[in-house]
Chain A
């Protein structure tokens, strides 16, 4: 379907003949490199994140781009600096729970560096002092009330994903005045329903840090005059490894980075003369899309932005969100999807594309799946090569359509 305001539609790019030199191996290699152990999950502000930026800069330079690094200053993250622990006993049985399987740090938690042992009591108990409080949900008001009553912390229920993990996040609110622990729902129910005295021993080593990140910009072709300019973006940061467990971030978003780099490599030699082509590999998305917020204000007005966040498992259709004056871009994407055989659906993409939209730029975000999302299960083997290929194909064909069709007076 073509949006009537999107402009003239030239025949779609023939997917059978284009792009012939797409390299699946290059795609897979980029994912494997970014997910490697020495990059430690690529959290912003860590040596692993900095090493990832340096490697990407070198890789893009090797492809012939002019590369610059840009510091993203003063980004706030919540850091698990030691493995949280949780043990509970009902008098008859003592259980040591497993971090991120059975429980996890709550992002609003205060730092509790050493384990505190205390009875667990219901939230409506008369005396909360020196206790862990079993609450049905977290609220800031409840945390403040429990803290003023002298409680050690809150225990609140949380579910797990399809693989039994609690996904990790690093962008959180200001910490509450007491510790807060998320406990797997069924275990929380067991604690709440226990007939004997429940004792809990828990530590939540979680602190707030201020870090600097690094965006990687690569220009493959400067626009000439007021010619069209294309910006391909993907964030390369992850939530970072836990102290004792790897979170490789292969899907979110090594896969998107691989797609953007390969698409730029394919497009650079074939775009019409004068059309600008650049890549921005962004830091700090997991900390609140900070890298793109920093970059968006620097981008030339009218630049078309295509952001890829997740290209690991297509499923039924790619999720697409559009913002700003993006009708023409969206039409080019639709046309590319039909030509390349990639199904598309309108879906939320709350990622870096929204920062470019907020800056008034025509921007679309594309998501093609993130199995194992922000858990240890997000490994390179879960990134489907076919999805990497389809995503690359989609981006390349979209840009080709965009640069070879003329806009209508309404677009």
Chain B
């Protein structure tokens, strides 16, 4: 492994503190490598919402985002 090359690409490109307020989930549970919908409505819609909304509700996922995901047929993991 080329240490020099990897060292230049590793870590956060921006402010690590942004990890406390990441954008709402596009997809569910992690970062699926392939979530591109090939026909019409997304297979995995925005479903889990923000950490802040989830924490406020005492759940894993934002209840509003989860409801919308279920309505779209994609469901939600948390």
A residues touching B (Cβ–Cβ < 8 Å)?
A: 1-3, 6, 15-16, 104, 106-108, 137-139, 156-167, 169-173, 182, 184-186, 189, 252, 285-286, 288-289, 293, 309-310, 312-313, 315, 317-323, 326-327, 330-331, 333-335, 337-352, 354-355, 357-358, 364, 367-373
11 contacts between A and B (CB under 8 A): A137-B71, A137-B72, A159-B40, A159-B41, A162-B35, A171-B78, A189-B40, A288-B78, A343-B13, A347-B22, A348-B51
Q: Are B22 and A321 in contact (CB under 8 A)?
A: yes
Contact of B54 among A171, A310, A350, A364 (CB under 8 A): A350
> Across the interface, which residues of A come within 8 angstroms of B78, CB to CB?
171, 285, 288-289, 350-351, 354
Chain B 62-78 residues near chain A, CB threshold 8 A: 67, 70-78
Given contacts A288-B78, A349-B22, A370-B33, 9 further A-B contacts (CB under 8 A): A16-B1, A166-B43, A186-B40, A319-B22, A322-B20, A337-B11, A350-B48, A351-B77, A354-B59
Q: From B40, which residue of chain A is reached at the shortest CB distance? A: A185
Contact at A348–B36, with CB atoms within 8 Å? no
> Do B19 and A321 touch (CB < 8 A)?
yes
Chain B residues positioned under 8 Å from A138 (CB to CB) = 70-73
Q: Across the interface, do B29 and A350 meet the contact criterion of CB distance under 8 Å?
A: yes
Residues of B within 8 A of A349 (CB): 22, 29-31
Closest to A321 in B: B22
**Nearest CB on B from A24, distance (A):** 13
Q: Within the complex, which residue of B13, B17, B31, B72 is in contact with A158, where a contact is CB–CB below 8 Å?
A: B72
Question: Cβ of B12: which chain A residues have Cβ within 8 Å of it?
Answer: 1, 320, 334, 337, 344-346
Interface string of B26-44 (1 = CB under 8 A from A): 1111111111111111111
Contact A158 B19 (CB under 8 A): no
B73: shortest Cβ distance to chain A, in Å? 4
Q: Closest A-chain residue to B78, C-beta based?
A: A289
Residues of A within 8 Å of B55, CB to CB, are 323, 354, 357-358
- Whether the Cβ atoms of B41 and A158 lie closer than 8 Å is yes
CB pair B39 A159 closer than 8 Å: yes
CB distance from B64 to the nearest CB of A (A): 13
| A355-B60 contact given A1-B11, A334-B16, A343-B9, CB 8 Å threshold | yes
Complex alpha-carbon distance, A166 and B11, angstroms: 34
Given contacts A161-B35, A161-B38, A350-B28, contact A107 B70 (CB under 8 A): yes
Question: Contact between B37 and A160 (Cβ–Cβ < 8 Å)?
Answer: yes
Closest 8 CB pairs of A and B: A341-B6, A185-B40, A169-B75, A350-B48, A338-B11, A367-B30, A346-B18, A348-B25
Cβ contact of A340, chosen from B6, B41, B48, cutoff 8 A: B6
Closest to A315 in B: B33
Identity of the chain B residue whose Cβ is nearest the Cβ of A78 in the assembled complex: B75
Pick the contact of B30: A161, A319, A330 (CB < 8 A). Answer: A319
A310 neighbours in B (Cβ, 8 Å):
29-32
Question: Given the complex, which residues of A lie within 8 Å of B76, measured CB to CB?
Answer: 169, 171
Q: A157 to chain B: which residues have CB within 8 Å? A: 40-41
A348 touches B17 (CB 8 A): no
Would B19 and A364 count as touching, CB distance under 8 A? Answer: yes
B10 cross-chain contacts in A, Cβ below 8 A: 337-344
Question: B residues within 8 A CB of A182?
Answer: 73
| Closest beta carbon of chain B to A136's beta carbon, Å | 10
Known: A106-B73, A354-B55, A367-B30. A159 touches B6 (CB 8 A): no
**Assuming A157-B41, A167-B44, is B7 touching A369 (CB within 8 A)?**
no
Which residue on B lies nearest to A340, using beta carbons?
Answer: B10
Pair A15/B6 contact, Cβ less than 8 Å: yes
The complex places the Cα of A172 from the Cα of B40 at a distance, in Å, of 22
Known contacts A285-B29, A372-B34, A158 near B23 by CB under 8 Å: no
How many Å from the CB of B10 to the closest CB on chain A? 4
Distance between A162 CB and nearest chain B CB, rounded to angstroms: 4
Return the chain B residue nearest A17 by Cβ. B3
Nearest-CB distance from A314 to chain B (Å)? 9
Q: Name A348's closest neighbour in chain B (CB-CB).
A: B25
**A351 to B34 Cα, complex, angstroms:** 18
* In the bound complex, CA of A189 to CA of B41 (Å): 12
**Given A167-B43, A345-B12, A354-B55, A338 and B22 touching (CB < 8 A)?**
no
Residues of chain A lying within 8 A (CB to CB) of residue B17: 3, 327, 330
